[in-house]
């Protein structure tokens, strides 16, 4: 075998697998294959002036490369089993939390020191929420911020680069069982290894489906979350964000009994475009550096849609809705809450009259022409519910950007070592469908590295 361990994908799952292998078994020969660029070469060409929309780069610098989809993220590491994935179902709740804290310790040693850790423990907002039919989920969250997150990645790479063979711009085309191990094939040749960790994230979902088919790995259908990104003056949520930074709040709608939740809260942050396979959706981020902060806070309101047989393509459903918004608005659509309730589209002049300055240049339009009624009704109900704990949420000028879609990978059938029935084949991170977050994906990487080193 050329390598003891090959890791496919250099997102948080792959990076923390490599890191922990170096710690627990430094004699192992390890390689990481990554479809995208090294960190310093990752640059999205959209500058808002010369290049305004996606030009379909061979490798998308937002989603791919060292650091994975998390590289330019807000770097919010949530330590909780309540959301962000179901890793605990495989390795137990205590171990999952211990690993998330271990990852946090490493992040602190590699440049994150001094960043803030927020917690819901003992928060008075739990009571306030419950009194208003809202449910605040338990979590501690470390906010690295987009800037510090990048520094941590730089430092982790500096530590790993002489201990591990990195192959950048080298997508793995196929993976096959070979004797006692595995063979990965790239455009530059094939490599053999004793063990293989697959950590290809959301961007590798289509490839993952092919691998599962060829290795006959069973997968289970998953879900898609659809909604909008809300942007309002930071003062409206300040009492919550100052204490908790991010609050994950869940509401059950009275009309349909659907669950609507807040997601990815960015105090004093900016709304941004996200490109998933050429479809423009919306996301948000914020900086730790006060000089880069804005006067607005943004967060997503998402409704989870689980489909039952015979329909299997939940991601396709989400994509179709996002395409519709792209068709009408040429990208992301923005609408004032007051216009939505009045049943009219937002226009450039109505936007100019608003008392809030949008942080994303989106097309004023009508989200009711895009989002299914059931989803839109749920979002409107939740905005009124949030208005009770954060008065001002339901103001006329609150901005809604659409659509925000959270795609999920098919969930892969693995055992409690995150290993498929082929010994030595581990499937981790968001690509496994088991995790959906930085902390869970990173923790799954540490866990399999320890399993390979015989430590769990
Ligand atoms: C804009 C944005 C903001 C986010 N903010 C947060 C946040 O604040 N907090 C949070 O918890 N989560 C956040 N997330 C989600 C988080 O980034 C992911 O949950 C996390 O990165 C998953 O890690 P991963 O290692 O499983 O996969 P990824 O990070 O997706 O990494 C997978 C890597 O595998 C590579 N790859 C794919 N296929 C192949 C192949 N065939 N061969 C070789 N390489 C391949 C890809 O190029 C990619 O680099 C955000 C995501 C985005 C897009």
Rounded Cα gap, residues 10 and 151, in angstroms: 16
236 touches 390 (CB < 8 A): yes
Six-digit token pair at 30? Answer: 């390890």
Smallest CA-to-CA distance from 428 within 450, 400, 406, 397 is with 450
Q: How far is the CA of 427 from the centre of ligand 1 (A)?
A: 14
Burial profile 315-347: b = 16 or more Cβ within 10 angstroms, e = fewer: bebbbebbebbbebbebbbbbbbbbbeeeebbe
Query: What is residue 161's predicted lDDT score, i.e. its pLDDT?
Result: 98
The sign of the CA dihedral 422, 441, 103, 248 is negative
What are the Cα distances from residue 153, in Å, to 70, 111, 116, 256? 10, 9, 18, 43
For 406-451, write each residue's pLDDT tens digit: 988 888 888 888 988 788 999 999 999 999 999 999 999 999 999 9
pLDDT in tens, 205-225: 889 989 998 988 888 866 899
Helix (H, G, I), strand (E, B) or coil at 170: coil
Torsion of CA 205, 206, 207, 209, to 10 degrees: 90
The per-residue pLDDT for 411 is 85
Q: Is 285 helix (H, G, I), strand (E, B) or coil?
A: strand
Contact between 138 and 121 under an 8 Å Cβ cutoff? The reply is yes
Rounded to 5 degrees, what are φ and ψ at 136? Answer: -90, 120
pLDDT recorded at residue 311: 80
Mean pLDDT of 82-107: 96
pLDDT the model gives residue 318: 92
Structure confidence at residue 329 (pLDDT): 87
> Mean pLDDT for the chain?
93
Nearest ligand 1 atom, CA 62: 53
> Per-residue pLDDT for 312 more than 80?
no
> Which residues sit opposite 165 in a β-bridge?
31
The closest of 120, 70, 82 to 445, measured between CA atoms, is: 70
Half-sphere exposure of 17 (CA within 13 A, CB side): 32
Closest approach atom of ligand 1 to CA 207: 41
Question: Using CA atoms, how far apart are residues 105 and 137, in angstroms rounded to an integer?
Answer: 23
Residue bearing the bigger pLDDT, 383 or 70: 383
Q: Which of 155, 108, 145, 116 is nearest to 289 (CA)?
A: 145
Mean pLDDT, residues 159-183 = 96
Which atom of ligand 1 is the closest one to the Cα of 430? 26
Residues 6 or more apart from 236 whose CB is under 8 A from it? 297, 390, 391, 392, 393, 395
Q: Which of 42, 62, 73, 182 to mutate to test the pocket of ligand 1 (most atoms within 8 A of CB)?
A: 73
Torsion sign (Cα): 220, 226, 232, 236: negative
Instruction: Provide residues with CB under 6 Å of ligand 1.
Output: 8-14, 33-36, 64-65, 68-70, 73-76, 78, 84, 171-172, 199-204, 207, 274, 283, 429-431, 436-439, 441
pLDDT of residue 40: 96
Token pair 């709304």 in the structure block, residue:
271
pTM for the model stands at 0.88
Closest atom of ligand 1 relative to the 13 alpha carbon: 25
How many residues are given for the chain? 456
For residue 68, the CA-to-ligand 1 centroid distance in Å is: 4
Label residue 44 by pLDDT band (50, 70, 90): confident
Tokens 């069982």 belong to residue: 177
Average the pLDDT over each of 48-52, 169-173, 326-330, 366-370 and give the range with the smallest value: 48-52
For 103: left if phi > 0, alpha if psi spans -120 to 50, otherwise beta; the answer is: alpha
Residue nearest ligand 1's atom 26 by CA: 429
Here the tokens at position 246 are 């991010």
Interacting residues of 438 by C-beta distance below 8 A, sequence separation 6+: 12, 70, 73, 75, 76, 77
Residue 310 clears pLDDT 90, i.e. is over it: no
User: Average pLDDT for residues 361-366, to the nearest whole number?
Assistant: 95
Ligand 1 centroid, distance to 59 Cα (angstroms): 13
CA distance 240 to 242: 6
């Amino acid at each position: 075998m050329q390598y003891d361990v090959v890791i496919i994908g250099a997102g948080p799952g792959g990076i923390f697998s490599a890191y922990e292998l170096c710690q627990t078994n430094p004699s192992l020969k390890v390689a990481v294959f990554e479809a995208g660029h090294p960190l310093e070469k990752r640059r999205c060409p959209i500058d808002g002036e010369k290049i305004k929309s996606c030009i379909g780069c061979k490798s998308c610098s937002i989603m791919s490369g060292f650091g994975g989809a998390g590289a330019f993220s807000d770097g919010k590491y949530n330590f909780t089993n309540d959301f962000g994935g179901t890793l605990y179902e495989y390795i137990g709740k205590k171990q999952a939390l211990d690993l998330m804290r271990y990852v946090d310790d490493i992040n602190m040693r590699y440049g994150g020191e001094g960043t803030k850790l927020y917690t819901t423990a003992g928060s008075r907002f739990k009571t306030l929420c419950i009194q208003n039919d809202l449910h605040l989920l338990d979590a501690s969250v470390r906010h690295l911020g987009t800037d510090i997150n990048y520094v941590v990645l730089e430092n982790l790479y500096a530590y790993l680069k002489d201990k591990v063979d990195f192959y950048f711009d080298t997508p793995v085309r196929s993976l096959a069982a070979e004797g006692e191990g595995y063979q990965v094939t790239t455009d530059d040749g094939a490599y053999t290894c004793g063990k293989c960790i697959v950590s290809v994230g959301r961007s590798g979902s289509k490839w993952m489906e092919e691998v599962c088919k060829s290795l006959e790995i069973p997968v289970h259908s998953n879900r898609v979350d659809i909604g909008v990104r809300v942007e309002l003056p930071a003062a409206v949520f300040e009492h919550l964000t100052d204490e908790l930074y991010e609050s994950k709040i869940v509401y059950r709608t009275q009309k349909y009994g659907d669950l609507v939740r807040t997601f990815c809260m960015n105090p004093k942050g900016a709304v941004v475009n996200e490109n998933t396979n050429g479809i423009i959706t919306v996301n948000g981020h914020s900086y730790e550096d006060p000089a880069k902060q804005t006067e607005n806070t943004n967060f997503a309101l998402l409704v989870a849609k689980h489909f039952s047989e015979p329909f299997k393509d939940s991601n396709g459903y989400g994509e179709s809705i996002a395409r519709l918004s792209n068709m009408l608005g040429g990208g992301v659509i923005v609408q004032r809450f007051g216009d939505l309730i009045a049943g009219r589209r937002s226009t450039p002049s109505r936007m100019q009259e608003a008392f809030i300055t949008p942080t994303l240049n989106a097309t004023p339009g009508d989200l009711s022409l895009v989002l299914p009624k059931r989803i839109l009704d749920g979002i409107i109900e939740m905005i009124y519910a949030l208005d009770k704990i954060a008065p001002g949420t339901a103001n006329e000028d609150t901005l809604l950007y659409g659509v925000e879609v959270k795609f999920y990978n098919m969930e892969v059938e693995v055992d409690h070592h995150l290993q498929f029935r082929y010994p030595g084949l581990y499937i981790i991170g968001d690509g496994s469908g088991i995790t959906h977050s930085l902390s869970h994906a990173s923790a799954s990487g540490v866990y399999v590295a320890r399993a390979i080193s015989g430590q769990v």
